[in-house]
Amino acid sequence: MKDHDNRAYLKVFFWGVVLWGGLLAVYQFALNRCMWLDEAHLAINIVDRGFLGLLAPLDNHQAAPIGFLFAEKLMALFFGNSDWALRVVPLFSFLFSIPLFFFISRKLARNGIVAQMATALFSISWILLRYSSEVKQYSLDVFVSLLLLCLPFFLSMERRSALAAAAVIGCAAIWFSHVAVVTLFVVGVYWLYRETYLRGNSKISLVIASWLVSFAGYYVFFIHDHPTREYMLWFWRKSFLPANPLSREFYVFGYEKLQEIYGYMFGLESIWLVPLAISLSGVCCLVVRKKFTVLYFCLAPVGVQLALSLLRLYPFHTRMILFLTPEFLLLFSMGVYCLAGFFRKSPAVVSCAAIALPVVIMFIPLSNKIPVYSDHVRESLKCVEQHIQEDETIYFYYVTSGIADFYLRAGLVNVANPAVNGQRHRNENHKYNPELASLTGKVWLVFSHVYISESGVNEESYMIGFLKENGALVLDSQSYPGSSVYLVDTMKPKAVRLAAPNP
């Protein structure tokens, strides 16, 4: 069989994988899984506030770009406060990112096979598919970043219309993605070098100046002195690059982040050194071939992000660096293509198989991690809604309370009974006793994502055990994946013992 015939089959294979990835994203979206806690906390802000209200700092320690919040609010107004309506923006961000990634890969790699392979890997990346159906801004970050990377290869800076388009797109991107500044910095430096230094076109400085004005406005109104700053610094404390390059922590950080990228994000935890080695071979190959443009656009965003992490301005963590996934995948694809060159003297089918094999392997994490299922809190709440009586109350486990809050406020679950939101007392189970002892009459207890303490005690088992030890009767219970419901009659004895139940 001729070489061009094998490459034709390879092309069909790659585009088939791309189609499969798009269908998986739609399937994941159609499953309409229950929100998890972080999604619910952000969604509460969206459904509870108007457009002006979204300009103020968000509740529940949440932060998201204004443009994203406005887009989500529009979807809620058009389609209602449902889970799937709030996931429309992330879904289409992922789907539109696929052709953008192919375009930029083709321009940078200047090789159709590499671009097709990278796009196929992008389409079936389990972590990108996960966030394509999650009410968070990370999928939009990927789309905005790819759109900005396309600008130098799509717009001719000699035309006024192109200059205006670059200015408008860049200014708007800042309001739709917090990480847009990373890509704009990379694109801006490239443009200054190519247009101003090499071609003597100083007009590009006007475009960059407009970006700076837009960012300054966003920073002054929405970032400076943000009330969640101290909390965010504490929450992401392990995701900031240590300042001392001679310290052990500096190298531990680097090792852990490489493992995070090539193990967790690639979905190849047990063999993460293999994709890392392949990517490094891709870097070496690009250096040898003096393809510095593709190296710049793949490595510069990572360097800028690490610099922001060093300055404690933005954490270097999986979902926060999701927008860098295209760069990692392109370097990996370049490495695969370079290594496949060792099979050039072999039959063409062997060379093509070597290129296709990594894509086939990526189906392993895909089959294990997609579709994503959250704890079925919505089903537990529906159970309560169907069976609760007027004189009964509800107790929400502390993780469950935030999720339940969204479904109740959005009107997706209609329960008007009094409710108690449990407090978090991890590894101090005895502190749950007073709030459980205060429950009276018949109470519905709803649990999800239950914590197991350092001593191995399941908090749900502890709390139900405490109620039983103090005379309560479990009248009914229902279990769902990751969630459970109990109807308990406390019978309120005169003296309630607050000691821990017997093991």
DSSP 265: I
Placement of tokens 């994000």 in the chain = 265
Q: What is the pLDDT of residue 134?
A: 96
CA within 13 Å, CB half, 332? 28
Question: Mean pLDDT of residues grouped by 10 in the chain (503 residues)?
Answer: 66 95 96 93 95 95 96 96 95 98 96 95 97 97 98 89 95 98 97 90 92 97 92 94 96 97 94 96 94 96 97 96 98 94 74 88 90 89 95 95 94 93 92 93 95 90 94 93 94 49 47
What does each C-alpha distance from 129 to 91, 132, 156, 371, 483 come to in angstroms?
9, 5, 33, 9, 24
Residue 353 CB burial class (10 angstroms; 0-12, 13-18, ≥19): middle
The C-alpha R_g of the chain, in whole angstroms, comes to 26
β-pair type (442-448, 483-489): antiparallel
CA–CA separation, 401 and 365 (whole Å): 32
Q: What is the pLDDT of residue 494?
A: 42
Instruction: Give me the phi and psi of 252, to 5 degrees please.
Output: -65, -40
Query: Quick one: tokens of 64?
Result: 């998201």
Question: Whole-structure pTM over 0.75, yes or no?
Answer: yes
CA–CA separation, 388 and 366 (whole Å): 40
